[in-house]
Amino acid sequence: MKSNIKIQETEAKSILQKSGLPDADWVVNPYTGCRFGCKYCYAAFVGRFRHPNEDWGSYLDIKTNAPELLKKELARKMEKMGVKDIGTIFFSSVTDPYQGIEAKYQITRKCLEILVELEYKGLVSILTKSRLVTRDIDIFKKLKRVEVGLTVTSTGDPISRYLETYATPNEKRIEALRKLNKEGIKTYAFVGPLLPHYVWQEKQLEELFKQLKKAGVSYIYLEHLNLSNQIKERLFKFLKKDYPELLEKFEESLKPEYREKLDKLLSRLINKTGLKVIHQKAIYHQDKK
């Protein structure tokens, strides 16, 4: 699929950042921007200073010095603390570490090689929407502790493909999970955001859970759709243009009764399929004005 994207090489000032996420202590974002440009993405705000008039998904900054920075910053922190484990390091919070450009630049791979070189003993956690992640199975096997997750939002319906235009198709992500698990890599799935057009198709949702269970994931996350004003404005612009009939369904997801009903459905299907859910329920982001 042809598209225009502005790619530029940059040098970051820092790469190992404290995390605001509940399940990670540090984050590494090898890129600024994300080619996948998913229409519901919460991270669309991150480029507003460097790329104030550009759409999310239309630009990508490659942090070419990320591996060198990571080596310097992590070595310093470990030496200061006198340990080989400063907590969970997460790839990545506001970009996809395995988007297409990674095949050429290998910034994520080089960062992981630094962790191997420094004999890092903490947990390294990865989350992506790309099957390219299987390229680095050899590196994963050298890490002391690693888990690899793929975001999987559906079994591949047309609306989900539209919302995630440039990401690896959902069925290929599940294939990647199977391959990783076969190679002995601990895996998980991030089922989120729970897309309102899809979640009430109970048989489809149950099939998704069954496929993830069969793929060998150790656990899953569930996440309600985050419709803060900024996300909603961007997402609804696309829906109004191409799928106006879905606007009402997406609006419904803001209502407490919608979430309560969906939580009951999720609980029933999770019990039926035997999957382990982190936090025991779907993550809910408070609606921010």
pLDDT, tens digit, for every residue of 10-69?
999 999 999 989 899 999 999 999 999 999 998 888 777 788 888 899 999 999 999 999
Residue 288 has pLDDT above 70, yes or no: no
pLDDT tens per residue, range 105-117:
999 999 999 999 9
Q: What is the pLDDT of residue 2?
A: 45
Cα–Cα distance for residue pair 70/137, rounded to 1 Å? 21
Dihedral over alpha carbons 13, 132, 50, 89 (to 10 degrees): -40
pLDDT of residue 44: 85
Q: Please, what is the average pLDDT of the chain?
A: 93
- For residue 289, pLDDT beyond 80: no
CA atoms within 13 A of residue 106's CA, in its CB half-sphere: 9
Does residue 287 have a pLDDT over 50?
Answer: no
Mean pLDDT over 214-225 rounds to 97
pLDDT digit string, tens, across residues 139-181:
999 999 999 999 999 988 899 999 998 999 999 999 999 999 9
pTM for the model stands at 0.94
Per the model's pLDDT, the better-predicted residue between 165 and 131 turns out to be 131
